[in-house]
């Protein structure tokens, strides 16, 4: 049965608005912010049975909160997952999920590239706790199978990979992981559930830096993880509860509000990014553009298969290399020089010295992050204005 009582599945643009919303006893349309750390028990017996898990109900906001419940349910529904879990940041989600699944001696097989701090976390895990990791260019089944080790516990991927925009075939990875009896974790930050739902392809856990498209307005830092109830409950009761990187109720409210416009925002991000990518590709001072929606993009067929749109992220290099790129970036005015992505404002940044600076240069180059690579998160401004800003900045190169 669906939200309106019919059996027909509702469209995602309806679900972003209605999914997970609970009926407020006082009739509030917007989700109330339960700004409370703790919840009062009617008796000692009630407190004891809640702690024992014999009675449903709230105890303490690190263990559950009604505003956060709405957010978790909403994102789980959008990703077609049984359960969701909200965290204080994307990195809190990444670390809690990984720490909940691996132990010393285990191995994590990663996509060819990863967000800088995810790399930093995996490196720290290796040095301090003996959890190994390696990278693999996941081009075909044979290459991935050969990269698996006896101790591989998890395949961890980004697709598109931040910031190179290379894609990984989700169905292929999920099939290999199932055969090997291991879990697939996908960081879906660049796509949002509106454009890509990895669980539909057989992956096990999806992670988001909700700071990005899910929030969409550059005013919240947050993370999310969704998956089967069994896996998510395990993380909820271990690494989330005991390490404690939970989300605040006010931040959950802002995300619920942001998600309500996810479908219209993502449509416009895709529309704008396609036009900006085509402009950049045709510009004489640009050497290469990486955007899955370009017909010239080598993985365009895979993008069409597993994504419902090509997203708002573009990477590119100038013919004049690093120096030219920096000059161009210093002359934009509408686009803001800032890390992060998925906001209404267009954001431009330099991965080698910013988001991926923590990765040693040699490794960064292997990942495809050259010194001259520039990343643009195309915002929701009028696309003509964005293109004019880029065109003007390119005059200085
Ligand atoms: C950035 N990214 O790229 P929190 N996963 C992916 C990400 O891009 C990020 C995180 C996780 C950027 C931040 C400065 C694919 C972050 C981590 O920042 O902890 O919410 O997410 O510009």
In contact, 212 and 340? CB cutoff 8 Å: yes
Q: Which residues contact 192 (CB under 8 A, 6 or more apart)?
A: 208, 212, 213, 214, 262, 266, 342
pLDDT tens across the length of the chain (397 residues) = 555 566 788 999 999 999 999 888 999 999 999 999 999 999 999 999 999 999 999 999 999 999 999 999 999 999 999 999 999 999 999 999 999 999 999 999 999 999 999 999 999 999 999 999 999 999 999 999 999 999 999 999 999 999 999 999 999 999 999 999 999 999 999 999 999 999 999 999 999 999 999 999 999 999 999 999 999 999 999 999 999 999 999 999 999 999 999 999 999 999 999 999 999 999 999 999 999 999 999 999 999 999 999 999 999 999 999 999 999 999 999 999 999 999 999 999 999 999 999 999 999 999 999 999 999 999 999 999 999 999 999 999 9
CA 62 to centroid of ligand 1, rounded, Å: 23
In contact, 393 and 325? CB cutoff 8 Å: no
> Which tokens in the block code for residue 367?
């990942």
Nearest Cα to Cα of residue 251 among 120, 61, 26:
61
Q: Which residues contact 230 (CB under 8 A, 6 or more apart)?
A: none
Q: Is the CB of 156 under 6 A from ligand 1?
A: no
pLDDT of residue 8: 84
Q: Is the CB of 354 under 6 A from ligand 1?
A: no
d(CA 23, CA 322): 54
Q: For residue 235, is the peptide bond before it cis, meaning its omega torsion is within 30 degrees of 0?
A: no
CA 270 to centroid of ligand 1, rounded, Å: 20
Give the start-end residues of each E strand in the chain: 83-87, 107-111, 132-136, 152-158, 183-187, 205-209, 223-227, 286-290, 313-318, 336-337, 347-349, 374-377
What does 221-255 look like in DSSP terms, one character per residue? --EEEEE-HHHHHHHIIIIIHHH--BPPHHHHHHH
SS3 129: helix
pLDDT of residue 9: 87
Q: How crowded is residue 114: how many other Cβ atoms within 10 Å of its Cβ? A: 24
Best of 192, 209, 350 for a ligand 1 pocket test (most atoms within 8 Å of beta carbon)? 209
| Cβ burial 165-176 (10 Å sphere, 16+ → b, else e) | bbbbbbebbbbb
pLDDT of residue 2: 59
Half-sphere exposure at residue 395, Cβ-oriented, CA atoms within 13 angstroms: 8
Q: Is the CB of 339 under 6 A from ligand 1?
A: yes
Q: How crowded is residue 222: how many other Cβ atoms within 10 Å of its Cβ? A: 26
Q: Is the CB of 355 under 6 A from ligand 1?
A: yes
User: Tokens 């049975």 label which residue?
Assistant: 49
């Amino acid at each position: 049965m669906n939200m309106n009582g019919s059996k027909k599945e509702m469209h995602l643009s309806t679900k972003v608005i209605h999914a997970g919303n609970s009926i407020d006893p006082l009739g509030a349309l917007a989700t109330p912010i339960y700004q409370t750390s703790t919840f009062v028990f009617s008796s000692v017996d009630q407190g004891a049975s809640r702690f024992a898990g014999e009675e449903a109900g709230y105890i303490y906001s690190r263990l559950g909160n009604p505003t956060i419940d709405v957010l978790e349910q909403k994102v789980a529904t959008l990703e077609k997952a049984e359960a969701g879990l909200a965290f204080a940041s994307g990195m809190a989600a990444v670390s809690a999920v990984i720490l909940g699944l691996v132990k010393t001696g285990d191995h994590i097989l990663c996509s060819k590239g990863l967000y800088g701090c995810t790399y930093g976390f995996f490196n720290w895990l290796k040095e301090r706790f003996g959890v190994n990791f390696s990278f693999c260019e996941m081009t075909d089944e044979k290459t991935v199978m050969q990269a698996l080790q006896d101790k591989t516990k998890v395949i961890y991927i980004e697709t598109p990979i931040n910031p190179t925009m290379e894609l990984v075939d989700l169905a292929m990875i999920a099939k290999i992981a199932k055969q090997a009896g291991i879990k697939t974790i996908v960081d879906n930050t660049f796509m949002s559930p509106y454009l890509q739902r990895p669980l539909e392809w057989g992956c096990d856990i999806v992670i988001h830096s909700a700071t990005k498209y899910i929030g969409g307005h550059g005013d919240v830092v947050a993370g999310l993880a969704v998956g089967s109830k069994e896996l998510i409950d395990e993380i909820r009761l271990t690494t989330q509860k005991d390490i404690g990187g939970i989300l605040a109720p006010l931040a959950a409210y802002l995300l619920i509000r942001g998600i309500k416009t996810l479908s219209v925002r993502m449509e416009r991000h895709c529309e704008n990014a396609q036009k900006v990518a085509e402009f950049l590709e045709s510009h004489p001072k640009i050497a290469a553009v990486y955007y899955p929606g370009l017909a010239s993009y080598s993985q365009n067929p895979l993008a069409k298969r597993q994504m419902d749109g090509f997203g708002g992220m573009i990477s590119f290099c100038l013919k004049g290399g690093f120096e030219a790129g920096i000059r161009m970036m210093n002359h934009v005015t509408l686009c803001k020089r800032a890390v992060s992505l998925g906001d209404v404002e267009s954001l431009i940044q330099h991965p080698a010295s910013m988001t991926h600076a923590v990765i040693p240069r040699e490794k960064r180059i292997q990942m495809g992050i050259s010194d001259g690579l520039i990343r643009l998160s195309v915002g929701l401004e009028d696309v003509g204005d964005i293109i004019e800003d880029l065109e003007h900045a390119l005059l200085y190169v």
